[in-house]
């Protein structure tokens, strides 16, 4: 166990050193002017080692950690059975919110780089789409959706997409208003609204009346 | 009025000819091997005329029509006051769903190109972010959100993002399952779920109980 713990810790340290070097170099030179070779050299590892941790230089700059994704899926699988799918998802993303808050400076640097680099934006979106698909699959399991029931797969996909949407909206809201609430509070407010329904101002409070749906 | 009508029609025809040429060339040669010059020549207009219609070649390939965006915002502003914001949004996007259904072949070609070209994906996401911001601003107006109330801007932004999310999820669902329902039905099912709340399986039906929120 000690040996395993040491190996895990070293692995995490190497990943963090590569991600930190990649972000620093991209901030200094621009995303397009940084290569995998540059990042590997700055973190004092071989190019081959780099690719053990990240499949693309953009994922290093974004600090994408596949282990963090796996941990989220595991927490979702292990969340108490009495929680609704959304409540289980909400509890599972707490650690991701910790990461976002702890690395706030790195995340704001990444956001600035993404605004400048279409390739970085594309990789961010592709990674998000992958995460969403895997999240939807675990939610479908949790909800007992039959593999032969294509219609039943819409709800877990929507849940996965909407929770990603809540995080993105919270980040965008914080970046474009002077709302002083912490990111975590904004994400939870968005998730509360998704949980209880977005049909605000409807006199029946969250329920779409059939005659209203016909008008729409 | 006749003169205006003719000018509008010619403008629409030129835009459609450019978008059709851009898509055809991109399918034939790949996105990276098509230039604004190629597209303009294929549609028999000058490069200067091209830029009257599209700011980037990617927007021509995507068939992005700023007039369609403006029409959606106008429909949203003009929707009956008694509709909830989400119901108004739902009625306003009907025409966009018509476009998606009518141009189903073009949209599936575009989806295949986006999967191959990070630059095209990046432009699609950037255009979507622009649309979302403008949509959120009109929703904020409609909801009477005070310009000095930063916290109040979260809800219109979430509504705009969630409706985009519903369309994206419907497209993704249709592309990855053999659910035979038409796109429109899938979008409306996703919007129904967003309207009534995503806390499925919660015994209180869409309402998050405080003790459950604490667990999460």
Q: How many of the other CB atoms lie within 10 Å of CB of B36? A: 16
The percent of residues in chain B predicted with pLDDT above 70, rounded, is: 92
Question: Could you tell me the pLDDT band of residue B202, with boundaries at 50, 70 and 90?
Answer: low
Residue B48 corresponds to which tokens in the numbers above? 């200067």
CB of B196 closer than 8 Å to CB of A208 = yes
The DSSP secondary-structure symbol of B206 reads S
Average pLDDT score over residue span A107-131: 93
CB of A174 closer than 8 Å to CB of A162 = no
pLDDT at position B199: 87
Instruction: Kindly report the average pLDDT of chain A as a whole number.
Output: 89
Q: How many of the other CB atoms lie within 10 Å of CB of A51? A: 12
Average pLDDT score over residue span B3-23: 92
**pLDDT tens digits along A33-72:** 999 999 999 999 999 999 999 999 999 999 998 888 899 9
For residue A178, give the chain B residue with the closest CA: B150
**Is B199 at the interface with chain A, CB within 8 A?**
yes
Q: How many of the other CB atoms lie within 10 Å of CB of B29? A: 11
pLDDT at position B23: 98
Instruction: Kindly report the average pLDDT of chain B as a whole number.
Output: 89
**pLDDT tens digits along B69-119:** 899 999 999 999 899 999 999 999 988 888 888 888 998 899 999 999 999
- Residue B62: closest CA among B116, B104, B97, B111: B111
Burial class (CB in 10 A: 0-12, 13-18, 19+), A171: middle
Residue A29 corresponds to which tokens in the numbers above? 């030179």
Distance CA(A214)–CA(A164), nearest Å, equals 30
Task: Work out the angle at residue A133's Cα, subtended by the Cα atoms of residues A127 and A137, and round it to the nearest 5 degrees.
Answer: 145
CB of A87 closer than 8 Å to CB of B202 = yes
Average pLDDT score over residue span A181-196: 93
Distance CA(B187)–CA(B169), nearest Å, equals 8
**Is A97 at the interface with chain B, CB within 8 A?**
no
pLDDT at position B30: 96
**Is A108 at the interface with chain B, CB within 8 A?**
no
Interface test with B, best of A162, A176, A182, A188 (most B CBs within 10 A): A162
* ipTM of this complex prediction, to 2 decimal places: 0.85
Average pLDDT score over residue span B136-153: 90
Average pLDDT score over residue span A159-188: 91
Chain B residues 64-93 with CB within 8 Å of chain A = 80, 83-88, 90-91
Distance CA(A187)–CA(A189), nearest Å, equals 5
φ/ψ of residue A164, rounded to 5: -65, -40
φ/ψ of residue B44, rounded to 5: 60, 45
> Highest mean pLDDT: which of A18-22, B5-9, B178-182?
A18-22
The percent of residues in chain A predicted with pLDDT above 70, rounded, is: 92
The DSSP secondary-structure symbol of B152 reads G
pTM for this predicted structure: 0.86
> Highest mean pLDDT: which of A147-156, B30-39, B61-70?
B30-39
Least confident of A199-213, B46-60, B202-216: B202-216
């Amino acid at each position: 166990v000690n040996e395993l713990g040491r190996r895990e810790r070293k692995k995490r340290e190497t990943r963090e050193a590569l991600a930190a070097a990649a972000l620093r170099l991209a901030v200094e030179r621009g995303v397009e002017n940084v290569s995998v070779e540059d990042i590997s050299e700055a973190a004092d590892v071989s190019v081959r080692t780099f690719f053990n941790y990240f499949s693309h230089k953009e994922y290093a700059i974004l600090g994408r950690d596949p282990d963090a994704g796996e941990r989220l899926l595991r927490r979702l699988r292990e969340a108490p059975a009495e929680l609704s799918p959304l409540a289980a998802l909400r509890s599972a993303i707490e650690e991701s919110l910790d990461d976002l808050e702890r690395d706030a400076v790195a995340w704001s640097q990444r956001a600035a780089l993404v605004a400048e680099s279409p390739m970085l934006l594309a990789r961010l979106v592709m990674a998000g789409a992958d995460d969403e698909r895997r999240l939807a699959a675990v939610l479908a399991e949790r909800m007992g959706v039959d593999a032969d029931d294509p219609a039943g797969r819409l709800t877990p996909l929507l849940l996965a997409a909407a929770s990603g949407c809540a995080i993105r909206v919270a980040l965008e809201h914080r970046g474009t208003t002077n709302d002083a609430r912490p990111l975590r509070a904004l994400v939870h407010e968005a998730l509360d609204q998704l949980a209880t329904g977005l049909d605000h101002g409807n006199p029946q409070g969250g329920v779409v009346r059939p005659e209203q749906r016909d008008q729409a």
